[in-house]
Amino acid sequence: MIVENNPLLQEFNTLHNTAPFSQIKESHYESAFEQAIQLATQEIDSITQNKAAPSFSNTIEKLDNSGELLGRISSIFFNLNSAETNDEIQRIAREVSPVLSEFSNDITLNESLFKRVKSVYENRAALDLTEEQKTLLEKQYKRFSRNGANLTEIKKLRLREIDSELSKLSLSFGENVLAATNAYEMHLKDDSRLSGLPDSAKEAAAEASKAKHKKGYLFTLDHPSYVPFMTYVDDRLLREELSKAFGAKAYRDEYDNQENVIKITQLRFERAQLLGYKTHAHFVLEERMAKTPEKVNEFSQEILDKAKPAAQKDFNDLQEFAQNFHENPVASLQKWDAAYYSEKLKQRLFSLDDELLRPYFKLENVINGVFEIASRLYGLSFEETNTIEKYHPDVLTYVVKHEDNTLNSIFYADFFPRKGKRNGAWMTSFKNQWHDEDGHNIRPHVSNVCNFTKPTATKPSLLTFNEVTTLFHEFGHALHGMLADTKYRSLSGTSVSWDFVELPSQVLENWCYEKEALEIFAKHYQTNEVIPLEYIEKIKAAANFQEGLQTLRQLSFGMMDINWHGIDPMEIKDVKEHEKKTFDHTDLYPDVETSCMSTAFAHIFQGGYSAGYYSYKWAEVLDADAFELFQENGIFDRNTAKKFKDNVLARGGTEDPLVLYTRFRGSEPKIDALLKRAGLVA
């Protein structure tokens, strides 16, 4: 279907060339994808049909510059499929994804193109290339060799079939998780069973109920609804009901993902074997800092050995506390007791709880605070504007500038949950940074998407401390995109190893615990009083609260990921049974028969973290080691910030991440800083 005057196929005549969301209709996408693929194909043909000998400029650079229009359309469409989807967008995604997968294979399995790339690669020693050019050349060569360029025609055909099927399965998995999340509601006609729930959460539940034309209170599996409920509601039976609903998402229901999980892991394994790798994890990790699943297992086990005794002590302390809790004692802890009694114990130990802190974390203040921190560190300024189009009224837009007043980037911020928006928090881009063929430094359009507590009729959006750290985390990713300064688009910003990509995000979380930073933005929403020093001291004191349990939980997710992708999964028949093989070593709470995490584990079955979830903990080693330098020199020391920007944030994937990190830090990362920060060693 050809759509005349399709805005997706035209130059965006908007301020800063931003996406004209109001002009884009769902009917535009399929035609746009079709024509953009045709154009990208022509660009590839112009490379392969070039009569001149293959060179870096006429082959490698031309290949990196190809597909710009297709990339722009894909970014807009798939970002909306995550943040503002509907039935029609999901239908288009199902149609388009296998076509895009097929086109990607058309490139990597193009013999004439690979022949030219291989020729340049084999003659690389004779070329006078910069480090960035060497990296681009190596990555392009591996893009072909690691995706079937050296396979026989029969195996290439099978690879295409696998990739097409995987793209469909991944979409189906995500749609099922979203549908299962949206399908569940707990509707209470009055507040007689809501003892303990803070007024802010109660008010939000009342407004959610009203929005559905119901009386009473409505609770969902969205995090801003689910987390306060599980943390504060005294009624254990209600907590159990909600917890079991959350744990059973897309498991043994009409949106069951068990078959998708097994098919995805088996196809990934077959694909890896086809390409000559032992498992999917061996294939993935060859291009990561960790290099092998054996190294990941060794790393995980090293931390597990340190964390498990601490976790067992945390659990025993919590169990004893729960058994002797004067209001609601329990004989043995269940998963639906974890957040509730942990919060009560934290209050007992530190006289600190989220509701005490919430008034000091008004969303607007936290946003301005993270902007101020970015300004002090990197000289950026942020100006909110209404002249840039938005894909939803909730979205905030900012023009970001350097100290010399030149454009740095455009920033979109989308903070509240709604129907059609998946759970969680993430950073993405509508447009990457790179230098075009005329030498212009094209600046990025970066987006943060979160699901925070919404404002109510009587209160602004007041964040929990966990939501504050989430905002800082995602903004750390945003800075990685904003401060990108590379020549080639495919190496820019967050286009780095997945066990390196979490360093900029996780390191920024550290500022949330520092007095000098908290005093910038932690101000009471009614009185403007700066957060009291005693609260700051309590935040720092509580930073390692139940760190053993938290570390064990994070490790368990990474270990389960490797246990899906670092083995031959062909004989796996029962998803839950396989999952338990990991959790039996890491979970101190009794198993819940009706719960299964894998069927809703979007990070590894939809979001690109397969064989890479360990990277969160891996990056914690990097971030603890990196922040130690900031602590030594001052958390707002511009020289340290410049070294971090110049060697990490700006460089993207232009060099080996260990080289970049060592250049910043002066030495390779050590695990000691993490273990010390977590309180796992003295």
312 Cβ contact partners less than 8 Å away, ≥ 6 residues apart? 548, 588
Range 75-84 average pLDDT: 97
Say whether pLDDT at 237 is over 70: yes
User: At 117, which helix (H) or strand (E)?
Assistant: helix 111-122
For strand 426-431 and strand 217-219, is the pairing parallel, antiparallel, or unpaired?
A: unpaired
* Of the candidate ranges 522-531, 565-574, 664-673, the one whose mean pLDDT is the lowest: 664-673
pLDDT at residue 622, as a whole number:
94
- pLDDT above 90 (res 663): yes
Question: Using 50, 70 and 90 to split pLDDT, how confident is the model at 5?
Answer: confident
Question: Is residue 474 over pLDDT 50?
Answer: yes
Query: What are residue 449's DSSP bridge partners?
Result: 414, 426
Tell how strand 186-188 and strand 217-219 pair up.
antiparallel
What is the three-state SS of 341-374?
A: HHHHHHHHHHCCCHHHHHHHEEHHHHHHHHHHHH
Q: What is the mean pLDDT of residues 290-299?
A: 95
Any bridge partners for residue 397, and if so which?
A: 412
CA neighbours within 13 Å on the CB side: how many for 188?
18
Distance CA 339, CA 319 (A): 12
Contact between residue 581 and residue 268 where contact means Cβ atoms under 8 Å apart = no
Residue 474 designated active-site? yes
Question: What percentage of residues in the chain have a pLDDT greater than 90?
Answer: 92
Position 353 scores a pLDDT of: 83
Q: Helix-strand-coil percent breakdown of the chain, rounded to 5?
A: 60, 5, 35
Mean pLDDT across 107-124: 96
Between CA 384 and CA 361 the distance in angstroms is: 20
Count the residues in the chain: 682
List residues bridging with 409 in a β-sheet. 400
Residues in CB range of 611: below 8 A, 6 or more apart: 280, 281, 283, 284, 285, 293, 561, 562, 565, 566, 604
Structure confidence by residue, pLDDT tens digits, 244-274: 999 999 999 999 999 999 999 999 999 999 9
Whether pLDDT at 1 is above 60: no
User: For residue 2, is pLDDT > 70?
Assistant: no
231, 354 in Cβ contact below 8 A?
Answer: yes
**Distance between CA atoms of residues 659 and 500, nearest Å:** 12
How far apart, in whole angstroms, are the C-alpha atoms of residue 224 and residue 229? 9
Average pLDDT value over all residues in the chain: 95
Task: Please tell me the distance from the alpha carbon of residue 215 to that of residue 231, in angstroms, as a whole number.
Answer: 24
Tens digits of residue pLDDT in 513-562: 999 999 999 999 999 999 999 999 999 889 889 999 999 999 999 999 99
| Strands in 391-491 per DSSP E | 396-401, 407-414, 426-431, 434-435, 441-442, 445-449
Say if residues 215 and 252 touch (Cβ distance below 8 Å): no
Integer Cα distance of 489 and 60 in angstroms: 12
Catalytic residue among 68, 84, 467, 474: 474
Fill in the amino acid letter for 262: I
* pLDDT of 4 over the 70 cut: no
DSSP one-letter code for 333: -
Q: Give residue-wise pLDDT tens across range 426-448.
A: 999 999 999 988 889 999 999 99
CB burial string 597-635: b at 16+ within 10 A, e below: bbbbbbbbbbbebbbbbbbbbbbbbbbbbbbbbbeeeeb
Report whether pLDDT(3) > 60.
no
Best CA proximity match to 574, nearest among 559, 596, 592: 596
Tokens of 366: 């936290």
Q: What is the pTM of this model?
A: 0.86
Query: Residue 361 forms beta bridges with which residues?
Result: 523
End-to-end Cα spacing for the chain: 66
**605 token code pair:** 């079955």
What's the pLDDT at 470? 97
Single-letter amino acid, residue 608: G
Taking the C-alpha atoms of residue 512 and residue 520, their distance in angstroms, rounded to an integer, is 10
Domains, the chain, ranges and CATH?
A: 7-150 (1.20.1050.40), 184-247 (no CATH), 359-543 (1.10.1370.40)
DSSP 431: E
Give the whole-number percent of the chain exceeding pLDDT 70: 99
Gap between the Cα atoms of 540 and 32, Å rounded? 51
Evaluate if residue 187 carries a pLDDT over 90. Answer: yes
What band does 682 get if pLDDT is binned at 50, 70 and 90?
low
State yes or no: pLDDT of 418 exceeds 60.
yes
Mean per-residue pLDDT for 373-395?
A: 97
Closest CA to 239 of 250, 248, 228: 228
Q: Radius of gyration (Cα) for the chain, nearest Å?
A: 25
Q: Quick one: tokens of 51?
A: 């009569």
Least confident range from 27-31, 180-184, 325-329, 545-549: namely 325-329
Q: What is the pLDDT of residues 593-638, one digit of tens each?
A: 999 999 999 999 998 899 999 999 999 999 999 999 999 999 999 9
DSSP letter, residue 61: I
Residue 74 buriedness (CB in 10 A; 0-12 / 13-18 / 19+): middle
